[in-house]
Amino acid sequence: CWGWADALGPTLRILAPIKISGAPEFVTLALGGTDCGLTRDGAVYCLGGFESVWRRVPFAPAFVSLAQGHSEPDPKPNPAHACALTAQGIAHCWGGNSLGQLGTGDLMARPTPTPVAGGHVFSTLAVGGESSCGVTVAGEAYCWGVNTEGQLGIGTKSPFGPPVQVPTRVLDPLR
């Protein structure tokens, strides 16, 4: 790792790559407010939140892909969240959920991976600071979370309204 190393101390900046002791061997990384890595056996480990060691995400199914989000500081605290896919294409998300970014149908934070509502089978996920999206195996895009500027692509925006708490299909401009 290199860069601002909040996990190793709030003011530490590392200018050249260093090996983090105790880090498992990862096949993919997702970086954000809390950094997470996926191992060959589908386990997820995260580092951050002023933790200096990699910790396995508890009660998690085996995952095949991983996406991470982080909210920039704003007036409303919104901790990082992450999402991952199982081999069967089921999306699970965990972390902060004050803006519906976990897609669970409510605004409760989840410390462990929780299936996304709707029963969709996804082929890929993308996670932003306050929203998440996935593309299904049928090629349909769904997004959930904050929609203040219409960033979910669902044809509306809700600058003062509630967040979209469950996956909602993105409009297809070609139809």
pLDDT tens sequence across 74-97: 333 345 788 888 889 999 988 888
Per the rule left: phi > 0, alpha: psi between -120 and 50, beta: everything else, 11 is: alpha
pTM for the model stands at: 0.74
User: Where do the DSSP E strands lie in the chain?
Assistant: 3-4, 13-14, 26-30, 34-39, 44-48, 55-56, 63-69, 81-86, 91-95, 110-115, 122-127, 131-136, 141-145, 164-169
Q: Region 120-146: what's the mean pLDDT?
A: 90
85, 91 contact by CB (below 8 A): yes
**One-letter amino acid identity for 108?**
M
Tell me which of 17 and 38 has the higher pLDDT. Answer: 38
Q: Region 13-18: what's the mean pLDDT?
A: 69
Q: State pLDDT tens for residues 91-122.
A: 998 888 888 999 999 999 988 889 999 999 99
97, 126 contact by CB (below 8 A): no
95, 77 contact by CB (below 8 A): no
Tell me which of 9 and 99 has the higher pLDDT. Answer: 99
Lowest pLDDT segment from 27-36, 47-56, 98-107: 47-56
100, 108 contact by CB (below 8 A): no
